[in-house]
Amino acid sequence: MLLTLADAAEPCDTLSELHSDAQTVYWLARCPQTGDMQLWQWRANSSELPHCLVEEAVGSRVNQYGGGSYTPLLGGVVWVRQHDQAVMQLGCHGTSYCLQRRPQTAYGGLCADPKRQRVIAVEEDAHGQRLVAVTDSDRQVLAEGADFYGAPIISDDGNYLAWVSWSLPHMPWQRSQLHFANIAADGTLQAFESWDFGAAISQPQFGPHNALICMSDHAGWWQPWQVNLATPICLNSPPVDHITTPWQLAERQHAWRGNRQVYCQLHQGAAQLYRRTGEQVEALLPDPGRVASITLAEHGDYAIVQSATSGAQLIRFNKNGSRNCLVGKVEGNVTQNLVTENSATAQWLETPVGNEGETVHGFFYSALANRAAPLIVRVHGGPTAAAYPIYDPLVAYWQQQGFHVLDINPRGSGNFGRRYRECLAGQWGISDTEDVIALVNAACTRFAIDTARCFIRGQSAGGFTALNALAATPLFAAATSLYGVTDALTLSAKTHRFESGYLGWLIGDELQLAQRSPTYHVTRCQRPLRALFIQGGKDAVVVPEQTHAMAWHIEQHGGQAQTLLFDNEYHGIRHPKARQTMLDRELVFYHSSHITTAPRS
């Protein structure tokens, strides 16, 4: 039994933002009918089934990418209502009401302060960002002056607050600072301390005895450091990343409680989850994959994970080493068997590029056919996000349709250390294009690929790479750009504040911004190009005008451009029906595209 188009359209990120309190586990789950995130809960150690607590769309729009869109508080929960960014509270008696709503203002990074019956949040409006405390009768500004704020966290005793800040032109994974303060009786902050290691600091947490622990990559990798000591010390020294690139607020991929800690390590782009209890360390996952969120409570240790054989799952890890899947497809059920029978697992692929010792790598998925098959290359967004060797129903669907799939992590991708990420400094539009071409050539040498039918697709920043690669080499028959960057110069003038300084670091000055862009390369390409553009009408990151202009350029130079616009979508296509329409159109597009004469690799 094959996967359907509806199966293929199901996104991988169906679960996120895990929290817990003394009795309950909370998480966000994507609604199958609307694609919106809803708030769910499960009463630990009870016979109750998980149930939806907040049915309306929950989500922050701070920095456009959100995160930290709810928090448990005093037996209830506080969340950000997606459509108007109002801060809402659901009390322990089931009554909901608005805590805070301000025009043209977004909230995110929510953190509970139960000692004062309030919530700490990042507040963003046209004037900038600040850290605020919100109650049902008051709003108090706690910190301001930096361009951006994130990851507020309060110690268990309620006496201390830690958070991260950064300022333009930096992104939070380039240069950021950690802050720590006492919370006074009136709720204000006192006795400030700060740490700046000349690199990036992320995901602060309080450990036993108010030990302040953060992830810092000043030694080359995201590693846990305890900083409130005379000399900061590294608590886990293996030279691998322990968290992913912080695109969203309030991510949590390490947690500490009593004498135990649960944390990640990423090897060859896959995350393993570990639990340390005293001196004993155990691996919690049978196979590495992706770890989205972690929370620890007296009633158990919980994580949202993905693997090569399952979609997103909420797992409870028990003290005796056993595990229970609370939400998601359970391994061994009928659907799971279909997954393993109808998809091939990832094969690691790596090839030399650039300077001596540099390589590019990715994950290759073979078509379910014993013949030379067409290839679809996928380039992730960011460009500092990453591809993982996890089960993706879209990849499985394409395999069943007779396509190989190659997920590439070009230089600049996250999860491979600071040096790999910073290879992209001043090189976007050059090294990423080189990486794609090199890895596809390596794949064509190693696997049976129909070289007349190689396609490339990319989303957001990945669309920039996909279109540049299409123009740079006859290797690709066609490209799909999903809300992709086409004109870096225009983007730098029109994009949102969070990324307003990023393009200067990635590319350079205005001349370089223009000359690295797909619009520039398309007008100089000597052969007609074929591309499909998929765009959200409400996208504020890559505005629709960019996409329409790029399609026009391709057609003006003898190529073929198709545009699929979804009026009510933002930066990403979320509604299930829209996703099905998108994927159906994309499949037809690939079937109708090929190179008349196969290119040389």
| Residue count of the chain | 601
**Host H or E run for residue 9:** none
C-beta atoms surrounding 446 within 10 Å: 12
- Give per-residue pLDDT as tens, 266-317: 999 999 999 999 889 999 999 999 999 999 999 999 999 999 988 999 999 9
Q: If you average pLDDT over residues 520-526, what whole number do you get?
A: 88
The answer to whether the CB of 30 falls within 8 A of the CB of 14 is yes
The answer to whether the CB of 331 falls within 8 A of the CB of 411 is no
- Give per-residue pLDDT as tens, 217-235: 999 999 999 999 989 999 9
Residues contacting 272, CB < 8 A, separation 6+: 264, 265, 266, 283, 285, 288
The structure's pTM equals: 0.92
Nearest-angstrom CA–CA distance, 580 and 8: 8
Q: Buried b vs exposed e over 167-180: b needs ≥16 C-beta within 10 Å? A: eeebbbbbbbbbbb
For residue 316, the cross-strand partners are 302, 324
Question: Which long-range contacts link 208-215 to residues 24+ away (Cβ below 8 Å)?
Answer: 208/256, 208/258, 208/259, 210/155, 210/156, 210/157, 210/159, 210/160, 211/256, 212/160, 212/162, 212/178, 212/180, 213/254, 213/256, 214/162, 214/164, 214/178, 215/242, 215/243, 215/254
Taking 3-state DSSP, the helix, strand and coil percentages for the chain, each rounded to the nearest 5, stand at: 20, 40, 40
The two three-digit tokens of residue 294, written as one number = 């972690």
Nearest-angstrom CA–CA distance, 131 and 180: 13
Give the model's pLDDT for residue 524. 87
Whether pLDDT at 601 is above 70 = no
Give the model's pLDDT for residue 537. 92
Nearest-angstrom CA–CA distance, 449 and 278: 51
* Mean pLDDT, the chain, integer: 92
Q: Distance of CA 544 to CAs 538, 559, 573, Å?
A: 8, 20, 13
The answer to whether the CB of 571 falls within 8 A of the CB of 540 is yes
**DSSP string of 247-316, one letter each residue:** -STT--SEEEETTEEEEEEEETTEEEEEEEETTEEEE--SS-BEEEEEEEETTEEEEEEEETTEEEEEEE
- Give per-residue pLDDT as tens, 479-515: 999 999 999 988 888 778 898 889 999 999 999 999 9
Confidence of residue 600 (pLDDT cuts 50, 70, 90): very low
Give the model's pLDDT for residue 599. 52
Please give the share of the chain, as a percent, with pLDDT higher than 90: 79
Strands 139-144 and 128-134: antiparallel
The two three-digit tokens of residue 220, written as one number = 């080359």
Whether pLDDT at 597 is above 60 = no
The answer to whether the CB of 221 falls within 8 A of the CB of 418 is yes
| Rounded-to-10 torsion of CA 386, 392, 398, 402 | 100
Please give the share of the chain, as a percent, with pLDDT higher than 70: 96
Nearest-angstrom CA–CA distance, 343 and 309: 9
- Give per-residue pLDDT as tens, 92-107: 777 899 999 999 999 9
- Give per-residue pLDDT as tens, 148-182: 999 999 999 999 999 999 999 999 999 999 999 99
Whether pLDDT at 337 is above 60 = no
Give the model's pLDDT for residue 177. 97
Q: If you average pLDDT over residues 131-150, what whole number do you get?
A: 95
Confidence of residue 250 (pLDDT cuts 50, 70, 90): confident
Whether pLDDT at 334 is above 80 = no
Nearest-angstrom CA–CA distance, 98 and 45: 31
Q: Buried b vs exposed e over 353-364: b needs ≥16 C-beta within 10 Å? A: bbeeeeebbbbb
482: three-class secondary structure by DSSP: strand
Give the model's pLDDT for residue 344. 67
- Give per-residue pLDDT as tens, 338-377: 454 556 689 999 999 988 889 999 999 999 877 899 999 9
- Give per-residue pLDDT as tens, 33-69: 898 999 999 999 888 899 999 999 999 999 989 999 9
The answer to whether the CB of 276 falls within 8 A of the CB of 288 is no
Give the model's pLDDT for residue 500. 87
- Give per-residue pLDDT as tens, 533-560: 999 998 888 888 889 989 999 999 999 9
Give the model's pLDDT for residue 330. 55
Whether pLDDT at 329 is above 80 = no
